[in-house]
Amino acid sequence: MGEVVGEPDRQSSSSSSSDAGGAAPPRRRPLGVLPLIALIFYDVSGGPFGVEDSVRGGGGPLLSLLGFVLFPAIWSLPEALITAELASSFPENGGYVLWISSAFGPFWGFQEGVWKWVSGTMDNALYPVLFLDYLRGSLPLFALPAARAPALVALTAALTFLNYRGLHLVGLSALALTAFSLSPFVVLALLAAPRLRPARWLAFDPKALDLRTYFNSMFWNLNYWDKASTLAGEVDNPSRSFPRAVFGAVGLVVASYLVPLMAGTGAMAGSSPENWTDGYFAEVGMAIGGPWLRCWIQLAAAMSNMGLFEAEMSSDSFQLLGMSEMGMLPAVFARRSKYGTPTFSILCSATGVILLSCMSFQEIIEFLNFLYALGMLLEFAAFVKLRIKKPDLHRPYKIPVGTVGAVLICIPPTFLILIVMSLASIRTFIVSGSVMVFGALLYFGIEYIKDKTWVSFIPNPVPSENCFGSLPVQIQETHDDASASLLREP
């Protein structure tokens, strides 16, 4: 193994990526646990907006409710556990790109970065669309193409500017938006309680079952637990903060799905599965509480999509920054604004969002799910490989299982991933295959221009020796946080 070292000095990477030589370092206020919980919540969920398709695809409430009980156990919890262990072990920007690079080398780390960035940008293209979908019920103007396209561009530009103003501001905004976005569903649940008929939760129409829509909806609404790992270098004491934030977000996400779904499906009489499409919770609010609750849910949905956009944009842009600090991308991707945010990386991600926003909701979900699934297969493999290859790696949080247990943890989510991928359309295979080919060609193209010194790269990239198979072991002479497992028995 490598030499014994301490915590990496993040100030060195900060100064190496400032906008101008000799200029004052950009302001960087670290994220605390609560803002990080809010960002993870928005990376994964943002509330029940968008879960309506799980009722339609599942042929009624039964499979949807079962899915949001079972899928978190077999998918979300393993991914959250793995994220907590690896993000605390590799507390640098770049997240999963660093994990894969350490396990399998820079080529596969770069491919992970390409797949996850394209998937994340596709995901982010959904939120301005959903924002307008919820508003068009009250403002039909946004249903017209002549008004919709300019509104999408203007909305993307405004949200991108907020992201540019600072990650700390984004984290605090996400915290406030979480409380506001979930508040109407607390009221909805209280108003629905006297009208609940539990038998309605058992409704299932096999003829209306659409497995592709169902699995893609469930998978999309419960993935992206690993996205916030790309912000690890911006988090206050990430080795402690990440495990707490990840597990706090798990409970919040599951509750934010189950409570509104149980209230809506249990209180609505004669509601057909076909009615449950994007934005239908506003109609549920109208039926249960009246116009005021419908408007509140629509406004909460709009605000939620702002939070979703901000969280995804932060993760995607800091992923590019992390890859630049690792020497995988040109130095321009690591340049920071005076607010500490990666200016060029944010602009690159925003451009991708605008270009992809013309696609349909279901197309985007299927494409991004497939690419995300590919990346997750690599992450599970890296998790097992690092347990075998680097057993002495400093793990401030460690899942309390051995190597066999680590393999067993990965089996259920891997099985789910293979189901989702097997249901993909031919078009999705073509699009995803094209992205994979593009990623491989881009890697060798960047290596070529690096050798030719045509473009500036960060000299002695951080953490250069850490990324590619020789991560140094960090030894603590005092208390070892790895023994303080969040899952240990009292």
Distance of CA 87 to the CA centre of its chain: 14
- What pLDDT does 470 receive? 38
Among the listed ranges 47-56, 158-167, 208-217, which one has the minimum average pLDDT value?
158-167
Place of tokens 């500036």: 456
Whether the full predicted model's pTM is greater than 0.95, yes or no, is no
Quick: pLDDT tens for 101-115.
999 999 999 999 999
- What pLDDT does 62 receive? 92
Q: In this structure, is residue 4 part of a structural domain?
A: no
Q: Is the pLDDT of residue 5 over 50?
A: no
Q: In this structure, is residue 234 part of a structural domain?
A: yes
Write out the residue range of the structural domain in which residue 400 sits.
29-452+464-471
Other Cβ atoms closer than 10 A to 127: 29
Quick: pLDDT tens for 310-339.
888 888 888 998 898 888 999 888 888 887
Quick: pLDDT tens for 12-22.
344 344 443 44
Q: Which residue has the higher pLDDT, 203 or 472?
A: 203
SS3 assignment for 209-275: CCHHHHHHHHHHHCCCCCHHHHHHHHECCHHHHHHHHHHHHHHHHHHHHHHHHHHHHHHCCCCCHHH
Q: Is the pLDDT of residue 2 over 70?
A: no
Place of tokens 């949905």: 301
Q: Is-contact 403 388, C-beta < 8 A?
A: yes
Q: Is-contact 227 312, C-beta < 8 A?
A: yes
Identity of residue 461: P
SS3 assignment for 259-310: HHHHHHHHHCCCCCHHHCCCCHHHHHHHHHCCHHHHHHHHHHHHHHHHHHHH
- Phi first, then psi: give them for residue 363, nearest 5 degrees: -60, -45
- The CATH number assigned to the domain holding 79 equals 1.20.1740.10
pLDDT grade for 119, boundaries at 50, 70 and 90: confident
Q: Is 31 helix (H, G, I), strand (E, B) or coil?
A: strand
Q: Is-contact 386 152, C-beta < 8 A?
A: no
Q: Is the pLDDT of residue 440 over 50?
A: yes
Please name which of 427, 328, 419, 321 lies closest in space to residue 376, comparing C-alpha atoms: 419
Q: In this structure, is residue 457 part of a structural domain?
A: no
* Sign of the dihedral defined by the CA atoms of residues 131, 136, 142, 148, in that order: positive
Quick: pLDDT tens for 194-251.
999 999 999 898 888 888 888 888 888 888 888 878 877 777 777 777 788 888 888 8
pLDDT grade for 45, boundaries at 50, 70 and 90: confident
What's the rounded Cα separation, in Å, for the pair 250 and 254? 6
Q: In this structure, is residue 190 part of a structural domain?
A: yes
Q: In this structure, is residue 9 part of a structural domain?
A: no
Average pLDDT over residues 81-104: 89
Q: Which residue has the higher pLDDT, 340 or 291?
A: 291
Q: Is the pLDDT of residue 411 over 50?
A: yes
The first and second tokens of residue 28, run together, are 């960087």
Q: Is the pLDDT of residue 171 over 60?
A: yes
pLDDT grade for 66, boundaries at 50, 70 and 90: very high
Other Cβ atoms closer than 10 A to 401: 15
- What pLDDT does 131 receive? 73
Q: In this structure, is residue 23 part of a structural domain?
A: no
Q: In this structure, is residue 14 part of a structural domain?
A: no
Q: Is the pLDDT of residue 186 over 80?
A: yes
State how many domains the chain has: 1
Average pLDDT over residues 355-375: 79
- What pLDDT does 246 receive? 84
Quick: pLDDT tens for 24-35.
455 556 777 888
* DSSP type of residue 336: B
Q: In this structure, is residue 2 part of a structural domain?
A: no
Q: Is 235 helix (H, G, I), strand (E, B) or coil?
A: strand
Q: Is the pLDDT of residue 89 over 80?
A: yes
- What pLDDT does 27 receive? 53
Average pLDDT over residues 356-363: 69
What's the rounded Cα separation, in Å, for the pair 87 and 91? 6
Average pLDDT over residues 401-411: 91
Q: Is the pLDDT of residue 476 over 50?
A: no
